[in-house]
């Protein structure tokens, strides 16, 4: 009788054990409790929503970095994104919202959107992102006892920028560093072609047969800060916005009634290069090594 009972138990429980060991959970659940929320302004609806802190970081990773990237690059992005929003929460504590959900701050994509976009790949993709968030749980960057303003961007020009060459302030941890991995980026170098008439219209310039250029000021990496085009002075960023270029590291050449522009890099160039982080991860660097390369003399802390 005992043998029959034992056999019955084995028949019942062995399949359960096999399922437990070999079937992956459909959706990773965060095993933590926190009353920390991020107040996110949705630009489409103008509504301010409150999102649990680490869930917000998941949505930022989905919006800011390709899901195909290495896990160590995603982990570096998670820590940078966490630091960035913590700094914004400090700045905006007396305001109605902490961040907006676009590139003005960090792109945030909600779960409903991700399910619609990823479809059958949703579970694999969301679990990969949640793994990066869980393995860096509550980690952020600190410099001199303060949360780091962890700026990041897509693709460098081979070096990142010193903060004061792009933004008003000199920040000790936002220094120019080599980023030799960025050539893997599809936007490392981009070509644009304009009709001469269209080129002038976009820049609000009168028509002239000849495009006269004078670069007035550059950053140390060659990004254009000030340029004269047919004697009109422009900020480099103004040219980028009007012509919808990827970067203010550009060259302009005229060929009869055509204008050819080549840009290098994508984004402002300060802080962590995302494609640089991916390149480092592909070479075997860990997320903490990536972060300490792009943010000088920082410490990784937990809250």
Domain definitions of the chain by residue range: 37-183+269-302, 189-264
- Report pLDDT digits (tens) over 77-101: 999 999 999 999 999 999 999 999 9
**Residue 14 pLDDT > 50, yes or no?**
no
Q: Are 99 and 48 in contact (CB under 8 A)?
A: no
Q: pLDDT grade, residue 35 (50/70/90)? A: low
Beta bridge partners of 251: 262
Name the pLDDT band for 24 (thresholds 50, 70, 90). very low
pTM of the shown model: 0.85
pLDDT of residue 303: 85
Integer Cα distance of 294 and 182 in angstroms: 13
Say how many Å lie between the first and final Cα of the chain, rounded. Answer: 58
| Helix, strand, coil percentages, rounded to 5, for the chain | 40, 20, 40
Mean per-residue pLDDT of the chain: 90
- Alpha carbon separation from 139 to 53, 133, 148, 288, 303 (Å, rounded): 12, 9, 12, 11, 7
More confident of the two residues 14 and 132: 132
Give the tens place of pLDDT for each residue, 140-196. Answer: 999 999 999 999 999 999 999 999 999 999 999 999 999 999 999 999 999 999 999
What local confidence, expressed as pLDDT, does residue 36 receive?
A: 87
pLDDT of residue 29: 52
Residue 21 C-alpha from the chain's centroid: 36
């Amino acid at each position: 009788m005992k043998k029959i009972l034992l056999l019955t138990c084995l028949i019942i429980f062995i399949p359960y054990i096999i399922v437990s060991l070999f079937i992956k959970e459909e959706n990773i659940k965060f095993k933590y409790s926190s009353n920390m929320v991020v107040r996110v302004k949705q630009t489409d609806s103008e509504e301010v929503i409150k999102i649990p802190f680490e869930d917000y970081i998941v949505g930022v990773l989905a919006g800011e970095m390709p899901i195909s990237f290495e896990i160590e690059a995603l982990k570096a992005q998670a820590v940078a994104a966490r630091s960035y929003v913590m700094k914004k929460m400090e700045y905006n504590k007396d305001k109605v919202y902490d961040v907006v959900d676009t590139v003005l701050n960090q792109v945030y994509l909600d779960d409903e959107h991700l399910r619609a976009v990823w479809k059958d790949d949703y579970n694999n993709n969301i679990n990969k992102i949640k793994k990066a968030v869980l393995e860096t749980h509550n980690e952020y960057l600190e410099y001199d006892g303060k949360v780091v303003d962890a700026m990041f961007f897509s693709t460098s020009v081979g070096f990142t920028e010193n903060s004061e060459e792009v933004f008003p302030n000199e920040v000790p941890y936002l220094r120019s560093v080599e980023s030799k991995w960025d050539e893997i980026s599809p936007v490392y170098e981009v070509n644009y072609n304009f009709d001469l008439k269209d080129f002038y219209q976009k820049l609000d310039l009168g028509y002239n047969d000849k495009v006269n250029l004078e670069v007035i000021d550059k950053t140390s990496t060659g990004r254009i800060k000030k340029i004269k085009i047919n004697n009109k002075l422009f900020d480099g960023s103004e040219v980028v916005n009007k012509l919808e270029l990827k970067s203010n590291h550009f060259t302009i050449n005229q060929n009869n009634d055509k204008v050819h522009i080549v840009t290098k890099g994508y984004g402002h160039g300060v802080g962590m290069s995302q494609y640089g982080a991916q390149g480092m991860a592909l070479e075997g660097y860990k997320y903490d090594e990536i972060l300490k390369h792009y943010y000088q003399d920082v410490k990784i802390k937990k809250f």
